[in-house]
Amino acid sequence: MHGWIILDKPLGLGSTQGVAAVKRVLRQAGHGKVKVGHGGTLDPLATGVLPIAVGEATKLAGRMLDSDKVYAFTIRFGEQTDTLDAEGPVIATSPVRPARDALAAVLPRFTGPIAQVPPIYSALKVDGERAYDLARAGEAVELKSRDVVIHALTIEAAAADGPLDEATLVAHVSKGTYIRSLARDIALALDTVGHVTMLRRTKAGPFDLSGAITLDKLNEMGQARALEQILLPLRAGLDDIPALALSPDQAGALRQGRVLVGVHADDGAAFAMLDSAPVALVDVIAGEVRVVRGFNL
């Protein structure tokens, strides 16, 4: 079992609980001990695409963390919570409700490279401690601004006329972007306050909701011992890079950690394969091929 299972994570489930669910189903289906990891944390109050790496795919989980994501999210205007979502208590209110035209007008300010301050209720570390642990303990938490990229930001649903109590947006973002912070800052730019009431990840790297399954479906396939039917291949996590065909001798050399020279291939990352068998994720520079992650298959 080597590849990807894409969960449509339900509300209330943490990412680590999603990993645990896949591990449990794999054991029940007779696959014994298999390495399992996730390719991008989703808060318990968020739903949607959670890539679960199985077996050798866990070597690519870090690359998945660095990939772009797409989220749909709803901002409720007029109330800000300490967690910036529906979980925390209200800490600020405003009578101002923006019009749709005003909302549309500020979105370009949040498109492209921007700086944002992460929520204090986040997993970022401050002096070795998780920010959310410090916040829950009542300590003052100061997080530095960080640079992220918002590739696209559009309105998905909002009333055409009158003041908006809420609006749903879609954001295509770089790694490290906090949607809760984005919602907070959009509301502030509209001279009000706001927080996220719905957050759904619709895409993570190459994976979207079209290939995602529910926990019920996962359990059903596990009981039928048919998990192979929902397991996407290792290559699915690397569909944005070219394949590099190897000869048996070249594959053997890479598996030994040696550098290939004189290879005719474009510079950059590549997925080295012997016939249909994955060998390694490699880096090609000036005709030299070096292993970045080797696969034991």
Catalytic positions, written as ranges: 43
Tokens of 42: 């989703």
Q: DSSP secondary structure string, 101-128? A: HHHHHHGGGGSEEEEEPPPSSSS-EETT
183 closest CA partner among 102, 72, 70, 94: 72
Rounded Cα gap, residues 96 and 191, in angstroms: 7
CB 59 within 8 A of CB 92: no
Strands 90-93 and 268-274: unpaired
What is the longest distance spanned by two Cα atoms in the chain?
Answer: 71
Phi–psi pair at 294, nearest 5 degrees: -95, 150
Phi–psi pair at 22, nearest 5 degrees: -65, -40
222 closest CA partner among 4, 21, 17, 29: 29
Strand segments, DSSP code E, in the chain are 3-9, 36-38, 46-54, 69-77, 79-81, 90-93, 112-116, 125-126, 129-130, 146-157, 166-173, 194-204, 207-208, 243-245, 268-274, 277-285, 288-294
Rounded Cα gap, residues 197 and 157, in angstroms: 14
Rounded Cα gap, residues 4 and 15, in angstroms: 15
- Amino acid residing at 227: L
